[in-house]
Chains A and B, each alone.
Chain A
Amino acid sequence: DTVLTQSPGTLSLSPGERATLSCRASQSVNINYLAWYQQKPDQAPRFLIYGASSRATGIPDRFSGSGSGTDFTLTITGLEPEDFAVYYCQQYSNSAITFGQGTRLEIK
């Protein structure tokens, strides 16, 4: 199975700053099958980005995804208070799904 490693584990930033979250795969991932999710406490995850770089409906344009092959990035520009949460990357290959271990974005 493809292992996804996210970094950093925790990111401490202030509102208004830019967040850069990394997701590295153990083998090449088809960009069509790379997604990002946001999860807040006691809630189900919400998908933000699909196809590595396409925003889901209703997701603000301060969220952007990029990358290819084994390296993917979620960038949040101009952090808003509601953006502080845990973020997961996820991939699909060979009929199996894997998630990264998550990056916690906390208020500094």
Chain B
Amino acid sequence: QVQLVQSGAEVKKPGASVKVSCKTSGYTFTAFEIHWVRQAPGQGLEWMGWINVGNAYTKYSQQFQGRVAVTSDTSANTAYMELSSLRSEDTAVYFCARYGIGYVFDFWGQGTLVTVSS
């Protein structure tokens, strides 16, 4: 069965960077895009960007351009999202999701809480 398992919670200081991993299994990793979506406490879903795992093409939301990098390691079936220059407003749960058949996020990771605090 398809699974996306994310790394554990992180606490970071303002100005630092965080890298969240998303290990996949149960499907051909290179056949689907992986997207990253975040959710601040009590707020809605905010799309951050995606990677075409097959060719490593990436596209980012303008809001995060220059601060986010999405990468993948095909040998480990794992995608990564690194966010730099963290500020308190980046405190959120970060989700990875597979962009599947039907142009929809059909499988999601469990979420990773990133807390930015001095």
Interface residues of A (CB under 8 A from B): 1, 32-33, 35, 37, 39, 44-47, 50-51, 54, 56, 88, 90, 92, 95-102
Contact = CB atoms under 8 A, between A and B. Distances in A.
B92 to A, nearest CB: 13
A90 B44 CA distance: 12
Contacts, number: 57
Contact of A35 (B46, B50, B61, B105): B105
B45 A45 contact: yes
A47 to B, nearest CB: 5
- The winner among A32, A45, A101 for most chain B CB atoms within 10 A is A45
Interface of B: 35, 37, 44-47, 50, 59, 61-62, 95, 97, 102-106, 108-111
Say what secondary structure dominates the interface of chain B. Answer: strand
A101 B35 contact: no
Given A1-B62, A44-B95, A95-B59, A88 B45 contact: yes
Contacts of A54: 102
A32 B59 CA distance: 20
B47 A50 contact: no
Contacts of B102: 35, 50-51, 54, 56
B44 A88 contact: yes
- The winner among A32, A35, A92, A97 for most chain B CB atoms within 10 A is A97
B51 to A, nearest CB: 12
A2 B61 CA distance: 12
B105 A37 contact: yes
Contact of A102 (B44, B103, B105, B108): B44
Contacts of B111: 44
Nearest to B48: A97
